[in-house]
Structure 1
Amino acid sequence: MNNSLISPWKVSATLGLSSIAGFVLGQLIGNRKQSATRILKMIRDDFKKEGPVIGSWIDSQADPYQRYAVKADVYHGGVTRLEDSIPVNYQFIADARTGSLIELKREN
């Protein structure tokens, strides 16, 4: 048998342990709010992939949000970036725990 091959049971065991560890870690820190600064950085970084960002803001206090049956704590903020050399403003609502955008509106 070739020692350079990884046996299937090791792969299965590694994936299983990784899944369990990820689940436990998610339960431990998944209910914590991220800082507004960190979420703004994540959103700015995503916007920078599409063009230069020239300004941004975020409320530091999370607010309760509900749309239909979905409830979350959210941060409100905005980003201004250049599109064809014209500043364009975006307003967003981001989940305070995951940083995921819940709502994004183009202002201009």
Structure 2
Amino acid sequence: MTKGAKLIAALGIGFLGGLFVQRSLNHLPLSPERALSKVKASAKQVLTIDGAWIFLQKEPWSNGKLAYEVYKGGLTEKTGDEVVHYDFIVDAQTGTLLSLEAQVAD
């Protein structure tokens, strides 16, 4: 095998290895911090976010027949003198916001 052929073979193997690693990493769940970042980015389109938090442990959750591994957390929005708290549920795999509900103060 010539040096050029060896170089091309090494580049091809390196490319395929990188592609395999990338695809493997895409199947890992998001960190809680990354999931919270995605929630905040989605919610900023409709809310003025003042604060945010997230539980660090994933848990099972279902919406009808669809089952997910999720993170739960909350957002706060301050408008004037009023503070509104929202609970959210986010898919731990994709960061998709599955639920966002305002909590009514008693």
TM-score (structure 2 length as normaliser): 0.66
1:75-100 C-alpha deviation (Å, 9 max, x unpaired): 00000012355211100110001111
Q: Does 1:101 align with 2:92?
A: no
Corresponding pairs, count: 85
Is 1:86 matched up with 2:87? Answer: no
Letter in 2 for 1:57: W
**Large movers: runs of 4+ above 4 Å:** 24-27
Change (3 A) 1:82 1:47: farther
Q: Identity of aligned pairs, percent? A: 28
TM-score by length of 1: 0.65
- Please state how far the C-alpha of 1:45 moved relative to its aligned partner: 2.6
5+ residue gaps, structure 1, are 1-23
Tell me the CA shift for residue 25 of structure 1.
8.4
Q: Which runs of 5+ in 2 are unaligned?
A: 1-19
Identify the residue that residue 24 of structure 2 maps to in structure 1. 28
Change (3 A) 1:35 1:70: same
- The residue identity in structure 2 corresponding to 1:76 is K
Q: Which whole-Å CA distance do the structure 1 matches of 2:47 and 2:75 have between them?
A: 12
Conserved in 2, the CA contact under 8 Å of 1:51 and 1:83?
A: no
1:48 alignment counterpart? 44
